[in-house]
Structure 1
């Protein structure tokens, strides 16, 4: 999915969210960065199941985050992909994203070992395209 941006916009911020209330701070940070850089921002969520209607029904928080993003001038995209880091990296490249904002994982070290990490593979993939990744505590 390719978004259309205003001509001349050089700063494109992508905010990655999950259905957690703590992601509100990420949306706010994305809006703030877009304002600081005279750019635009989008909020993205990756659905791994191909059944977004079920995700949206179960995740009122996700809808609240999307609503907040739109009220703050951002766009919203729901992506589908089995590997989250790869899906996010592809979207960032296709849309000429200049900066990505993600939240630090709340998962345990054991869970990361067993199920994999999203942030480090994402950083590795996008930094070769000069896309900056900001990890918010």
Structure 2
């Protein structure tokens, strides 16, 4: 019998995050757990007034729904603390995130989140571009 694991997918307001949702759904199916798709927006940031970002979130909502998950959009000035709260609230075992760029001091959101969570939380980092197989 498989041990059920809950999966949290962290998305931004970009349609390319669809690949993260698909990977989260694959993991959810493998581990027979639940899938949570989360987007944290900065307080005061009006993404729904910007058609491109609003369209992207609507698209990601539809992708989440088609994978049997809900897209939760939260507002916070502390993205890391908010993600940590969601991990604890939803009993998350695996976090799916896109490959992130480090800032000029070598910090990334992935590294910052990893430091704030227990060591037993697994991270699945999806590359920005899938590498082509050479035949």
* TM-score by shorter chain over 0.5: yes
Unaligned runs of 5+ in 2: 128-135
State the partner residue of 2:133.
Answer: none
Q: Which of 91, 96, 101 in structure 1 is aligned with 2:91? A: 96
> Once the 2 structures are TM-superposed, how far is the Cα of residue 90 of structure 1 from its aligned partner?
1.5
Q: What TM-score, normalized to structure 2? A: 0.80
Runs of 4 or more above 3 Å deviation: none
CA distance in 1, matches of 2:104, 2:68: 37
Unaligned runs of 5+ in 1: 1-8
Q: Which of 121, 124, 131 in structure 2 is aligned with 1:134? A: 124
Residues 56 and 63, structure 1, Cα contact 8 Å, conserved in 2: no
Length, aligned pairs only:
122
Q: Which of 112, 116, 126 in structure 2 is aligned with 1:121? A: 112
CA distance in 2, matches of 1:43, 1:127: 20
> Once the 2 structures are TM-superposed, how far is the Cα of residue 71 of structure 1 from its aligned partner?
1.2
State the partner residue of 2:27.
Answer: 33
Residues 12 and 34, structure 1, Cα contact 8 Å, conserved in 2: yes
CA distance in 2, matches of 1:131, 1:115: 22
CA distance in 1, matches of 2:106, 2:41: 16
CA distance in 2, matches of 1:115, 1:90: 25
Q: What TM-score, normalized to structure 1? A: 0.79
Aligned-residue RMSD, C-alpha: 2.0
CA distance in 2, matches of 1:136, 1:62: 19
Q: Which of 36, 48, 51 in structure 2 is aligned with 1:56? A: 48
State the partner residue of 1:4.
Answer: none
Distance 1:14 1:93, change over 3 A: same
Give 1 or 2 for the bigger CA radius of gyration: 2
Deviations 1:22-46 (A, max 9, x none): 2110000011111111111011000
